[in-house]
Amino acid sequence: MDFIVFQNGPQPTLILKGCWTLSNLSAIEHAFKALRPALPTKGSIFINCMDIEEIDTAAMLFFIQLRREMRLSLKVSVTGVRPEFLRLFRVMLRYCPAGPTHNLLQQPVPDTLYRIGKTAINGFHDLLLFLDLIGRICMNLARSLIHPSTVRIQELAVNLQNVGVQALPIIALSAMLIGIVIAFQSAVQLKNYGANIFIVDMVGISIPRELSPLITAIVVAGRSASAFTAQIGAMRVTDELDAMKTLGFEPYRFIILPRILATVIAMPLLIFFSNVIGIYAGILVSSLQLNISPAQFLERLEEAVSVRHYVIGLIKGPFFALAISSIGCFRGLQVSKNTQSIGRYTTISVVNSIFTVILIDALFSVILTELDL
Amino acid sequence: MKESAIEVRNIETRFGNAVIHKDVSFTIYSGEIYGLLGGSGSGKTTLFRHLLMLTRPSKGSIRVLNQDILNSNEGEANALRRRYGVCFQSGALFTSLTVFQNIAVVLKEYTALSDKLIADIVYAKLQMVGLNSKAATLYPSELSGGMVKRVALARALVMDPKLLFLDEPTSGLDPISAEAFDNLILTIRRLLGLTVVIITHDIDTIFNVLDRMVVLADGRTAAEGTLEDVLRHDHKFIQEFFGSNRALNRLSMRSRHGNQG
């Protein structure tokens, strides 16, 4: 179907026909582009609109632009105009953009230097905001310590349930698997040297001191940092936080502090739980693989492994918990009123908190080694 | 005889035990501005969603532009949807896209037009709904309530629809913006000859804009017709609704106006 036909001759004429609607418009546009070189460059041209069956606003815009473009070099006369056509023509002439328009569909990609600068400034800005949050948390924490009655016991309990109790199954599974992996890998090596019994030192130190705090923290970061960000973010989107403020409920006391306290309380308990499961996995593997009976294992554990490894692991707990929960809440407060914002900040919060946990663990490692602990 | 654009016949809708519509019928003619009226919970929005093919009634028939929408396949339904323009109550703009992108994305998806022509169409539609080109680069979060509704209208108009559906277009707007938006709907209908379906309970919109309307109450069509026809009914909801102070003011203004003219 031809939408535009060009008749050359003494009276060069463009004949427009068919349904000039949006669905045909790209075909019409291409047809005109193909005809463009054949059109006269000076003199006059006629446009016959008699055979246009239907025309809509988009096609009319195209017609107006086409006419405007040809009028730059030609004398254009339009013939065969029907009343509906003329009416729509007048309407669209009013709304047709006069100057050149820019398609803003593709946003310009900023150059690398700009992006680096922007990221750096945003990072610095985030750091300041984070310090602000830490300050407010400390103030509220101090107030809670002075007036313990202001702690919201109910919120605290709900959060303890979410952060702690509900994390038990996944932490049990992770700790079990990590215990089995460590015990198995060491069993193979130790067997070669006939040093079977040293598996107790291996499992007994690595699990409580390093692996179990780290695994627990990573699981909690994945479960709870994301949950905090999403919950607080949703509250921001729906203006719930502002509503609380106007009712005199301080969000720090009602929303943030219970989450942070709950995580700080739950984390050492979870690490303890994960120690038990991890060492149990070690006992299981030793008795099956190396013929070390559970009684032998526990006896050796008591005499060979100092209690300080176990204490160090537990001490890391509250530090990890503070990092995870404050990052989770911080990112939640940054959410803006935008459907993609919650998802973005939830991702950022999990990535940030896992990274921070590993960073803190490395710091502990360096400091404790320097202290010969 | 006028050509009918939408025919709704004996609709019954139930969700579990809750009966929303018992028996609803009405006809919308081409080129008119038609109102869906009713109190909260009268099933206006559900009916609206039936017409948009988002939900289905339990019984009855709906014909839109001579197509039975309850017995059409996915392809037919999508073809019909492309002749629809819909404005949701909250605007429902895509928050991650700018105003320009919100409108252009539909054209980009459904047509193979050149970038320049797409830009021309987008700017023309923005002009049409009374926004200047400066608004094009803003994000929805940077717009006022009235502007959001205008952009949503521009997006609804971009595919040159035959039917325009508006869900409470003036709710949440100040009286001046609401009146401007009412006038905009009238202008657009006059310019483009669309059929417009509006859910509303704004007295001003009902008096100024609607050609005809249906009033839903108790799951049934309580009244249908022009404002005069509807006002003659003595259904409890109609008497309460048009008996409010604002409505009475409008009615007295209208009769005074009528006496003078």
Residues B64-106 pLDDT 10s: 888 888 888 888 888 888 888 888 888 788 888 888 888 888 8
Angle at A117 between CA A113 and CA A119, to 5 degrees: 115
User: β-strand B67-68 against A75-79: which pairing, if any?
Assistant: unpaired
Question: Which residues in A lie closer than 8 A to residue B105 (C-beta atoms)?
Answer: 105
Contact between chains at A61 and B117 (C-beta distance less than 8 A): yes
pLDDT at B258 over 70: no
Rounded to whole angstroms, the Cα distance separating B258 from B128 reads 32
Give the nearest partner residue to A56 out of B95, B116, B160, using CB atoms: B160
Phi and psi at A262, nearest 5°, equal: -60, -45
Determine the pLDDT at residue A352. 94
Give the nearest partner residue to A338 out of B101, B137, B141, using CB atoms: B141
Q: What is the pLDDT of residues A62-117, one digit of tens each?
A: 888 888 888 888 888 888 888 888 888 887 887 877 776 777 766 677 788 999 99
For residues B160 and A57, the answer to whether their CB atoms sit within 8 Å is yes
Q: What is the pLDDT of residues B187-241, one digit of tens each?
A: 888 877 789 999 988 888 888 888 888 888 888 888 888 888 888 887 888 887 7
pLDDT class of B257 with cuts at 50, 70, 90:
low
Share of chain B above pLDDT 90, in %: 2
pLDDT at B1 over 60: no
Mind telling me how many Å the CA of A86 is from chain B's nearest CA?
12
Determine the pLDDT at residue A346. 95
Determine the pLDDT at residue A106. 67
Query: Which 3 state secondary structure label does DSSP give A164?
Result: coil
Determine the pLDDT at residue B144. 83
Determine the pLDDT at residue B260. 47
Q: What is the pLDDT of residues A236-259, one digit of tens each?
A: 888 888 888 888 888 888 899 999
pLDDT at A1 over 80: no
For residues A25 and A57, the answer to whether their CB atoms sit within 8 Å is no
CA A235, chain centre distance (Å): 17
Which of A105-114, A271-280, B48-57, B94-103 is predicted least confidently? Answer: A105-114
Contact between chains at B160 and A97 (C-beta distance less than 8 A): no
pLDDT at A263 over 90: yes
Tokens of A12: 């060069």
Q: Does B58 touch chain A (CB under 8 A)?
A: no
Q: What is the pLDDT of residues A325-371, one digit of tens each?
A: 999 999 999 998 777 889 999 999 999 999 999 999 999 999 999 99
Question: Which residues in A lie closer than 8 A to residue B191 (C-beta atoms)?
Answer: 88, 91
- Identify the residue whose tokens are 């101090």: A142
Determine the pLDDT at residue B140. 85
pLDDT at B254 over 80: no
pLDDT class of B107 with cuts at 50, 70, 90:
confident
Mind telling me how many Å the CA of A78 is from chain B's nearest CA?
21
- The CA dihedral of A133, A134, A139, A143, to the nearest 10 degrees, is 100
Determine the pLDDT at residue A105. 66
Mutate to test the interface with B, among A101, A236, A342 (most CBs of B within 10 A): A101
> What counts of helices (H) and strands (E) characterise chain B?
10, 10
Rounded to whole angstroms, the Cα distance separating A192 from A215 reads 29
Contact between chains at B192 and A29 (C-beta distance less than 8 A): no
Helix axes A257-289, A112-146, angle to 10 degrees: 100
Contact between chains at A57 and B101 (C-beta distance less than 8 A): no
Q: What is the pLDDT of residues B120-133, one digit of tens each?
A: 888 888 888 888 87
Average pLDDT over chain A, rounded to an integer? 88
Mind telling me how many Å the CA of A122 is from chain B's nearest CA?
19
Determine the pLDDT at residue A34. 82
The closest of A367, A362, A326, A264 to A133, measured between CA atoms, is A326
Rounded to whole angstroms, the Cα distance separating B222 from B235 reads 7
Averaged over B18-24, what is the pLDDT? 86
Determine the pLDDT at residue A365. 93
Averaged over B163-178, what is the pLDDT? 84
Question: Which residues in A lie closer than 8 A to residue B122 (C-beta atoms)?
Answer: 101
Query: Which 3 state secondary structure label does DSSP give A107?
Result: coil
**Residue A244 or residue A125, greater confidence:** A125
Determine the pLDDT at residue B97. 83
Range of A26-30, A52-56, A296-300, B50-54 with top mean pLDDT: A296-300
Q: Could you tell me the CA-to-CA distances from A179 to A53, A219, A290, A311, B83 in Å, in that order? A: 78, 16, 15, 19, 63
Contact between chains at B104 and A103 (C-beta distance less than 8 A): yes
Determine the pLDDT at residue B75. 86
pLDDT at B261 over 60: no
